[in-house]
Structure 1
Amino acid sequence: MIEKIYSTLETFKDINFHKGLNILLADVTQKSTDKDTRNGLGKTTFIEIIHFLLGGSCSRTSFLKLPRFSEHFFIMDMKIDDSKLIVKRRGIESNYIYILCEKGSKFEAIFGPAEKKIKVTEWNEFLGSSLFNLNSADFRINENLKFRTLFPYFARKASDGGFLEASKYFKNQKVFPTQIALTYLLGLDTKLAIDQKMLDEKKKEIADLKKVLKTDAYKEIVSENINLDTEITILNEKALNFRRELDSFQVHPKYKDIEIEASIHAKQISELSNRNFIDRQIISDLKDASMNEEQISEISIKDLYAEVKVKLPEALIKNFVDSKKFHESIVSNRKNYLNSELNNYEKIVQEREVQVEKLSIERSKSMAILNTHGALEQHSILQARLNELLNKIEMYKNQQNIISSIREEEANLKIAEQKLIIEVTKSLEEHKTMKQKAILLVEEASKSLYNSAAQLNIGQTKNGRYDIEMVSRNQGSTGINSMLIYCFDMMLIQMSLYLERKMNILIHDSALYDPVDERQVTEAIRFGKEKSSERGFQYIITLNSDDLPEGIYEEVKGNILSKVLTDSDESGTLLGVYY
């Protein structure tokens, strides 16, 4: 329980608490007008300070970070199992807590006899173990349950949406963390709730993976209209053929030089062959000319002589006999010239043919090497094509594995889901005593309220997960949601004690009672007083003085804390200053 809250801030109003019901009032002074407000007196600040001292987060926007407050310690004296602890924390070093144990306390073994500075995370772990029996050695529990995921049910904050729904203390609280926390607080099988959460996470993973397969980016990589098994079979055969070709591939070290040499030989052979073709045409013409010379027969020497006589001087041609001899000499010389030219061309052609034959032999040798060996460039191209093919096969196999994994995982999830439904059903039956206890505690609180009938349902949804919710049989009642929360919280604090946990503090902000009619407020306060006294827990509420029903005042005046907040001036606020 909390014994005292105070501060090194001189203007702060120290507040002392006692067992059972504690009422912190915000009072109206005679000077107050309709324009005055009690919303800034410190009721909400009070709850913020309790969360701060019990390991809550401290954001940059918190008033505890303001320069005028950040260096001041806020302090709480508290008892856990009759052992006193003094807890100090300040905004300027909000990651740390100062702990001082009462001399002779059993917690000296943990914190030592002197004041000790520890991290907030260590403090929260200690509180989880001490107040809620959380086992930090249990990995699954430790990953999903912390002191700070449980304590807010016992000190709801209006600013977090804590008074919107009974099963949640935070507006955007997710389903599975909620079910995990509630199953633990109710003494049900929390590990099954964790299994449900993990199952849901796997479902989301599969759903996300299936979404990826439908994206345009993925469709660009893999064709939709193919049978992967068939395509992989065909591509594997192609890859095998490429491997065989590469295995038999021999790379000659001078392949490029030999290739160039063979090309030069081919070019030379072509040039020589072209020149021989031309020369053979000339040889043919020379042979024809020689044949014509031999076929020259008797010619008319007289006519020739007469023609020559006319055209040549008399001195050059003596007589016919001389002319004849002259003609025969010309023919003979012509034949000799033709034969000489023919022989020369035939010799040149023969020499070229010999050269062509030699070049052909050299080219054949080069081609034989080129036919049995390959170039490194060709080998690289073949290897690149094989790698491309192997990459494609790998990509198809990955897609095939993804699809197979999805199908297999979906089937396994269906099996696991059905199995979990059976296990939760069985567990609810095994924890029937806990279930009935919680239901009856809610029923008891509900009956104590005027014309209100709240009830707790503990069961399963259609998909088998735990379903824990508060419902009302009287939807027309004013402030019914607040009273559902009231009944639920009263059940939680009593279940904590029933389960032999040391969490024995319940705090309700005035926001819970704001929409509730006076008669229900009266009964709620009366029930809270009776039960806190009977069960041994501390029930702290903050109220505006005009919201405290007159009919209950005499019964609870001894429970009203000595420090009453007023709106006379800033000294009447909890912090003693406006900010």
Structure 2
Amino acid sequence: MKLSKIYTNKPELFAPVEFVEGLNVVLAEIRLPENKAKDTHNLGKTTLGRLLDFGFLSGRDAKFFLFKHSELFKDFVFFLEIELNDASFITVRRGVKDATKIAFKKHEAGKQDLSLLQAAEWDHYDVPFDRARDLLDGLLDWRALKPWSYRKGLGYLLRAQEDYREVFQLRKFASKHADWKPFLAHLLGFNAQLISQHYLKEEELAKKQEIAQTIKNELGGSVEDVSKIEGILLLKKNDADKKQKLLDAFDFRSQDKDHTKLLVEGIDEKISVLNAERYSLSQNRKKILLSLEDDQILFNPDEAQQLFSEVGVLFQNQIKKDFEQLIAFNKAITEERRGYLQEERVEIEAELKRLNAELNTLGKKRSEMLSFLSGTDVFTKYKQVADEMVLLRADITSLERQRGFVHRLQELRAEIRTLTEERSHLQTQIEEDVERQNSTQDSLFSVIRVYFNEIVEEVIDRKALLSVSPNQQGHLEFKAEILDESGNATSADQGHTYRKLLCIAFDMAVLRAYIDEKFPRFVYHDGVFESLDDRKKENLLTVIHRYAELGLQPVITLIDSDLPIRIGEDPVFSDDEIVLSLNDEGEQGRLFKMRTW
């Protein structure tokens, strides 16, 4: 399948572009001196690739120039003529105003102008967009891409400048890896079904884990042991059954009996123990208070000195000094002891406060039970038991809800274990397939990587390596690297110039590997020679010519300043190869012969 022609219903504003067999060149000449230093010139060489994508039914993007400047282009209708594998042709009609209504016409001769064709003369007219894509997919018949649509591979066939940033992950593949890695693996000859299943299994596993985490959050801090929940639920239900029978029979004798037993054996016994404990603590506090009072020293050395003086005792000053030292010593001991006693008193008083509060609570419960037993109003007892039933049923409902959550959590855990095992099994199969494709010399991947290296080596005299390997999660990692003399990867591929060369080499290697399959034969590379030196440009041009001779249709764009400089008058391209010439001398030199937008 090759490109044949693109034209519009307004040839005075957009001249038809007819593609040829072999190499097709879109050459833009910068003739005005003030434009030679500019990076962009808005002549249309990049725009042509976007229009081809539009003709291949790209989705509607508000940023796309036809829609962004709809006032300028609303009356344009584009026609893309494609040569099919059986040498017949299909023309796709798509207008800007009604971009989702597509028409198709199949014909035997190429280079037609169907712009004046009436609606009834088209094979299919005003076909809805999604249906039109399906229809074009069948007409193109790119079987080697199946089960993917023809649109999936177009990104590698229509490379604009922004598509040279990555060899494998194109601008249109900005979404998650599961959307493009299986397709790329298929393109390179790996078992894409395993990779797709692996991503699906991971997605399913992630959803189950998310649900399980939500259930755990719902349970909060409650127990997750279903056996314990079942046990508590059984006891609650038995209690509820008893109370319900009591209510149904309107007989409270057993209820009175239960309360009496609880009162006698429970609350009274606990009150007795707490009272004994309170009594003991009160006695200890009393002793501490007495000890604190007894610790006071009543002896006064000054009074003793006066007494000794009156009776004529000798050495009274020395006696006073000894007593003062003794008192100071006793004070030091007493202060330390008082500190301990104070701390113990504080602890005892705090404990007494707690005991008093608990005794008050128990006393209130005891009073309520005695009131229940001594009450003569049977309806009051009925209401109390009914209130207890409401609380019991609320507990039962909550427990049943928890039980449901826990059962679901257990089921999810079993499903997660199964999914984890299935994912691991798929990962093993992926690793085996990758090893097999890498080690088999005549595998499709081996053929592509040989062609890829041949192209790069012929252009820059350095070997290049395509490699595919699974990471720890089982996802494939695709690499395109330039090697040094020792066969080690270098950082040369990280520069824009060499990365662009790797992109071009990859696209052409894939086309050559599929040359005998039902697969597209064209590839569009924008700005193909930019940043390369003259020798490498000549080398790349030699490769492109050779691939064109094999039956492929390379379409390249460049500005005249990127042409390799040649000694003599031999032109770089023949007149037949230049399918579109552009220049900066006015509107007539642009792709769209109108003011810039």
TM-score in same-fold range (> 0.5) = yes
In 1: Cα distance, 2:422 partner to 2:547 partner = 43
Aligned partners of 1:13 and 1:563 also within 8 Å: no
Q: Give 2:474's aligned residue.
A: 464
In 2: Cα distance, 1:33 partner to 1:190 partner = 48
Please report how far the alpha carbon of residue 526 of structure 1 lies from its aligned counterpart in structure 2 after TM superposition: 1.9
1:77 counterpart (78, 81, 88): 81
RMSD of aligned residue pairs (Cα, Å): 3.3
Please report how far the alpha carbon of residue 117 of structure 1 lies from its aligned counterpart in structure 2 after TM superposition: 2.5
Cα 1:135–1:386 shift into 2, 3 Å: farther
Please report how far the alpha carbon of residue 91 of structure 1 lies from its aligned counterpart in structure 2 after TM superposition: 1.7
Please report how far the alpha carbon of residue 169 of structure 1 lies from its aligned counterpart in structure 2 after TM superposition: 1.1
Q: Give 2:64's aligned residue.
A: 62
State the SS of the aligned residue for 1:554: coil
State the SS of the aligned residue for 1:192: helix
Please report how far the alpha carbon of residue 33 of structure 1 lies from its aligned counterpart in structure 2 after TM superposition: 4.2
In 2: Cα distance, 1:549 partner to 1:84 partner = 36
Aligned partners of 1:446 and 1:452 also within 8 Å: yes
Query: Does structure 1 residue 132 correspond to structure 2 residue 142?
Result: yes
Please report how far the alpha carbon of residue 79 of structure 1 lies from its aligned counterpart in structure 2 after TM superposition: 1.1
Matched to 2:539, the amino acid is: E
Cα 1:515–1:224 shift into 2, 3 Å: farther
1:497 counterpart (497, 515, 533): 515
Gaps in structure 2 of 5+ consecutive residues: 111-119, 251-375, 485-489
State the SS of the aligned residue for 1:92: coil
Please report how far the alpha carbon of residue 27 of structure 1 lies from its aligned counterpart in structure 2 after TM superposition: 0.8
Q: Give 1:120's aligned residue.
A: 129
Query: Does structure 1 residue 157 correspond to structure 2 residue 173?
Result: no
Query: Does structure 1 residue 414 correspond to structure 2 residue 420?
Result: yes
Gaps in structure 1 of 5+ consecutive residues: 106-110, 253-366
Aligned partners of 1:459 and 1:468 also within 8 Å: yes
Cα 1:571–1:430 shift into 2, 3 Å: same
In 2: Cα distance, 1:147 partner to 1:496 partner = 15
Please report how far the alpha carbon of residue 176 of structure 1 lies from its aligned counterpart in structure 2 after TM superposition: 2.4
State the SS of the aligned residue for 1:165: coil
Query: Does structure 1 residue 522 correspond to structure 2 residue 538?
Result: yes
State the SS of the aligned residue for 2:229: helix
Please report how far the alpha carbon of residue 507 of structure 1 lies from its aligned counterpart in structure 2 after TM superposition: 0.9
Q: Give 1:92's aligned residue.
A: 97
Please report how far the alpha carbon of residue 168 of structure 1 lies from its aligned counterpart in structure 2 after TM superposition: 1.1
Q: Give 1:167's aligned residue.
A: 168
Aligned partners of 1:167 and 1:178 also within 8 Å: no
Query: Does structure 1 residue 537 correspond to structure 2 residue 552?
Result: yes
Please report how far the alpha carbon of residue 25 of structure 1 lies from its aligned counterpart in structure 2 after TM superposition: 0.8
In 1: Cα distance, 2:592 partner to 2:436 partner = 50
Per-residue deviation, residues 394-438 of structure 1 (Å, max 9, x unmatched): 332244235424532442233123211221233345654222212
Segment drifting more, 468-477 vs 28-37: 28-37
In 1: Cα distance, 2:101 partner to 2:510 partner = 29
TM-score (norm 1): 0.68
Equivalenced residues, count:
442
Q: Give 1:351's aligned residue.
A: none
Matched to 1:423, the amino acid is: Q
Matched to 1:464, the amino acid is: G
Query: Does structure 1 residue 483 correspond to structure 2 residue 498?
Result: no
2:561 counterpart (532, 546, 555): 546
State the SS of the aligned residue for 1:250: helix
Aligned partners of 1:5 and 1:76 also within 8 Å: yes
Segment drifting more, 224-233 vs 80-89: 224-233
Cα 1:429–1:36 shift into 2, 3 Å: closer
Q: Give 1:396's aligned residue.
A: 402
Per-residue deviation, residues 514-557 of structure 1 (Å, max 9, x unmatched): 343333232222212211321x2211111111112134973532
In 2: Cα distance, 1:484 partner to 1:114 partner = 41
1:571 counterpart (577, 583, 588): 588
Cα 1:454–1:551 shift into 2, 3 Å: farther
Cα 1:241–1:476 shift into 2, 3 Å: closer
Segment drifting more, 57-66 vs 471-480: 471-480
Please report how far the alpha carbon of residue 148 of structure 1 lies from its aligned counterpart in structure 2 after TM superposition: 2.4
Please report how far the alpha carbon of residue 382 of structure 1 lies from its aligned counterpart in structure 2 after TM superposition: 6.2
Cα 1:546–1:402 shift into 2, 3 Å: farther
Please report how far the alpha carbon of residue 173 of structure 1 lies from its aligned counterpart in structure 2 after TM superposition: 4.1
Please report how far the alpha carbon of residue 567 of structure 1 lies from its aligned counterpart in structure 2 after TM superposition: 0.5
Aligned partners of 1:58 and 1:91 also within 8 Å: no
In 2: Cα distance, 1:387 partner to 1:570 partner = 85
TM-score (norm 2): 0.66
In 2: Cα distance, 1:92 partner to 1:154 partner = 27
Per-residue deviation, residues 209-248 of structure 1 (Å, max 9, x unmatched): 465467xxx36x5325674542342133203431453366
- Whose radius of gyration is greater, 1 or 2? 1
Please report how far the alpha carbon of residue 563 of structure 1 lies from its aligned counterpart in structure 2 after TM superposition: 2.7
Query: Does structure 1 residue 250 correspond to structure 2 residue 265?
Result: no
Please report how far the alpha carbon of residue 496 of structure 1 lies from its aligned counterpart in structure 2 after TM superposition: 3.2
In 1: Cα distance, 2:504 partner to 2:145 partner = 29
State the SS of the aligned residue for 1:60: coil
Per-residue deviation, residues 244-299 of structure 1 (Å, max 9, x unmatched): 533664399xxxxxxxxxxxxxxxxxxxxxxxxxxxxxxxxxxxxxxxxxxxxxxx
Please report how far the alpha carbon of residue 450 of structure 1 lies from its aligned counterpart in structure 2 after TM superposition: 1.8
